[in-house]
Chain A
Amino acid sequence: MAVWTRTRGRMMADPGLVVAFAAVGALLVLFVLYPAVRVLIYPRLADYLAIPDNPRWLQAARNSLLMMVLSTLTATAVGFLYAFAISRRDMPLRRLFQTLSVLPLFAPPFMVAFSYILMFGRQGLITKALFGLDVNIFGWQGLWLVQTVAFFPFAALVIGAVLEQISPTVEYAALNLGATEGGVIRTVLFPLARPGVAAAALVVAISVLADFGNAVVIAGGFPLLATEAWFRIEGLADLKGAAVAVALLIVPTMILFLLERYWVGQRTYTVLTGKGTRIEQPPTPPLIRWLLFGGCVVVSAFVVIVYVGVLTGSVATVWGYKWTPTLAHWRLGLAQGGPQLITSLKIGALSALLTSAVAVLAAFITSRPTLPLRNAIDFLAVLPAALPGVFIGVGYLLAFNGPPIILSGTVWILILALSFWHIPLGYQAARAQLKQIDRSIEEAAQNLGATGMRVLWDVYLPLLGPAFMASFINAFIRAVTNLSIVVFLITPRTLVATYSILAMIGGGFWGAAAALTTALLAIPLLGVGAARLVLRVGLRPIGAT
């Protein structure tokens, strides 16, 4: 009671914070919870009770859990080592690795998987042409490889944001106290990175569970819950079955979420100064440095291969058979998808901005220890990662194609759906970063009379810059390459580029699809590059800034 009244008292004293809290809460309830609930209550109870009669679903549930464990372990481990490597200032080719680690985020999932079939499949350039092997990449092994490569950047992004905040002074302090160089890494840096690792593992695990794009291309006859939901819809127009499959997916996600909150939330973490001091890092021990370097080379090679596949596909006359270079695919792709390209970029930018703003604000709110209901907001901000895009698309149509809020037929339904679906990564990055910022800075500001919102604006926002950028770029790329939501929410008046890509794939024009995808991703990439070159404002590569 006493705590509650005190909490209320403090909240009342800070109307700005209350308004922000209410706004974020309302937005998440309306645009995450409400559509999700609408889909989940679409099937009847009997449909849910029939789950045990469907052996395919039980198998899919087992497979999904297996992949979650395998891919999360590898993607988080690779992501951690990679992020750690590029956080070392004395790492050779550091900038290059940094840029490469972000590249998988620029590839629509089906492209990663498709590239790997070309490279590592029965007719693979590497497996067959180079090593003469007869490899069947379809199934869980292939999926494991692809998911590791596709999701390690998520982990690297989240962990990198945390590692970057660790001041070199801590390392010096440990060294001065007699720790060995390896000991510093083990006893100081690893524990400090732990909230980042936990947050990253959560994001990766949830993404693996909900992963559709990779699985649909490479899993073959290996049923998984996320793809099962899609097959129910596309193969059988069975929305009830799809909703049941997704409901099965939400259970493990919920458990993961509670686990992460329990594991990380129960520990107090070392408090550091807000922004790193300008001291140089102590040198990394050579053995560790070169081991990390070797690891980065191997991982980067796997990343580069994805792009070699996509680029080759866009210029090879017949993929796999007639390698004569041609620009015909590019001409066709740009002629058919040109105008949609522009629409995509606009929608992507708008939705990414909204994603990042809500993600950072939500992270700030849930980091306030005094606010009631913050766990609910916390959950809602992570939940979208557990929902396959198909589910979001259907949910938005069910929720917003009638009173009280009618959005269908407008471009806003698409923008909002894309925005709220991509919140989790930015939110996790911001949360992880907030945990590393010294409370005393905030206390100083409060002592000087700053309100909660003022603290956010003047103290945290500048420090959250990297998380905001990471969130923006990720959300933007996911939005312009999205297919699963788009197919439900576009209208003939608002066509986007991925719609054309789907049409090309449907017609068998893989080359043109690869060309249009490349153009779709190259334009924002070149834009960012050009802006950086012109402004030279120190906007560092996104990865681990």
Chain B
Amino acid sequence: MKTGGGCPAGTSSEREGDMMRKVWILGLALVLLVGLGSGVTAQQRKIVIYSALDSEVTTRVVNAFTQRTGIATEVLTLAAAGTLATRITVERARPQADIFMGGSIDFHAPLARDGLLLAYKSPAANDPAIGKEFVDPTGFWHGWYIGALSIYWNTERLTGRAPATWDDLLDPRFRGQFLMPSPVTTGGGFIFVATQIFRLGEDRAWQWLKQLAANAQQFTPTAPAGIALVSRGEAIVGMNWGHDVQAMARNQGFPVGLVFPPDTATEIGGVSIIKGGPNPEGAKAFVDFLMTRVPQDINAQFGLRYAVRTDSPKPMGMPDRSTMKFVKYDRAWAIENQARIRQRWQTEIGR
């Protein structure tokens, strides 16, 4: 084995060859190490997505995005928005993802407050089909779907008239047979309590909630848990996100009925860009894409969530959005008073 020119002829070419081999191996190992370590940066065009939606919707949306833009994606789908938000928080030193997609904006807004998100105002959000209440004025999050609170019941165990309004939940025949997510540990439960406050005024709302608590079998610590229980007849009636009830109970073949009562409230499902992620330009393209019809139609069709766009079709088997009556929900007030309301719930309702 000859070594390159310049070197004075060695007395022991064998030893030199040995040296070279070592250098080669060392170099190769280094390249390998660096290559392994920088797997993310090597693929400049790729974006990394954390998705809190179900895997079917996520896969379809992401594939449509790649088809449209040619930008490849790596996706981690966990139907657990709080876990993903926590993960983004602790990855702060070295962000591993570009996009946080799905989950209520109540999870996105605190990330923005902690300086973990990148502000961006998507030009696509100026579309007249998108209400301006769905985009954060500071640009940290964009809303792209909404879910609404519903009342649902097990049709095999329910006797008599189905509940149609919030007040019907106080009916004594539901004593010990009502379930809803805990307002202390879930976003949905909290929005429900705030809804009652906006509907009845704070003092009357707490009286009403105490009466409701007398009917409650339990306040489930996670939101989806209650749906599985009412589906299987462990309780008769519950309150939960309509699209989750539809997807997890009715579409699985369980005997469950569903209604969106008057004075209901919504959550806005968001998307945001993680600051310091590997590919911010690709991430912006992704946010632009989510504002268009294709992904919002996919979400309505396969995730049963209402699109924020007024020109997207309604989810199958669900009422038209225009027939739903919403309470006047003041999001800013709700967030501001969140800690106080949760505290009051614990002292007054005590479970």
Contacts and interface: CB of A to CB of B under 8 A. Distances in A.
Contacts of A516: none
B60 to A, nearest CB: 13
A527 interface: no
Nearest to A395: B90
Interface residues of A, number: 58
Given A55-B346, A235-B222, A321-B255, A406 B86 contact: no
A51 to B, nearest CB: 13
A502 B216 CA distance: 28
B1 interface: no
B54 A410 contact: no
A216 B222 contact: yes
B159 to A, nearest CB: 15
B186 interface: yes
Interface stretch (B75-83, B201-209, B263-271, B318-326): B75-83
A319 B252 CA distance: 10
B335 interface: no
Interface stretch (B2-10, B120-128, B143-151, B243-251): B243-251
B186 A235 contact: yes
Contact of A231 (B39, B75, B222): B222
B232 A221 contact: no
Given A123-B233, A502-B78, A488 B224 contact: no
B232 A123 contact: yes
A503 B224 CA distance: 13
Contacts of A488: 83, 86-87, 90
Interface in A407-434: 408-410
B56 A507 contact: yes
Interface in A498-530: 499, 502-503, 505-510
A122 B186 contact: no
Contacts of B251: 508
Interface in B85-140: 85-87, 89-91, 93-94, 96, 107, 110-111
B351 A235 contact: no
Contacts of B85: 237
B48 interface: yes
B89 A237 contact: yes
Contacts of A232: 185
B91 A136 contact: no
A492 B76 CA distance: 5
- Of A220, A502, A505, most buried by chain B (CB within 10 Å of CB) is A220
Interface residues of B, number: 67
A233 B90 CA distance: 12
Contacts of B227: 508
Contacts of A136: 176, 217
Contacts of B343: 53
A118 B228 CA distance: 11
Nearest to B48: A492
Interface stretch (A279-287, A396-404, A436-444): A396-404
Interface in A313-337: 317-322, 336
Given A55-B346, A55-B347, A221-B351, A117 B83 contact: no
B82 A237 contact: yes
A332 to B, nearest CB: 11
Interface string A117-149: 110011100000000000010100000000000
A492 B219 contact: no
B187 interface: yes
6 contacts: A55-B350, A122-B233, A136-B217, A239-B89, A397-B91, A509-B252
Interface of A: 53-56, 117-118, 121-123, 136, 138, 216-217, 220-221, 223, 227-228, 231-237, 239, 242, 317-322, 336, 394, 397-398, 401-402, 406, 408-410, 487-488, 490-493, 499, 502-503, 505-510
The 10 closest A-B pairs by CB, nearest first: A506-B79, A508-B248, A231-B185, A237-B85, A402-B93, A492-B74, A221-B218, A235-B185, A234-B82, A220-B218
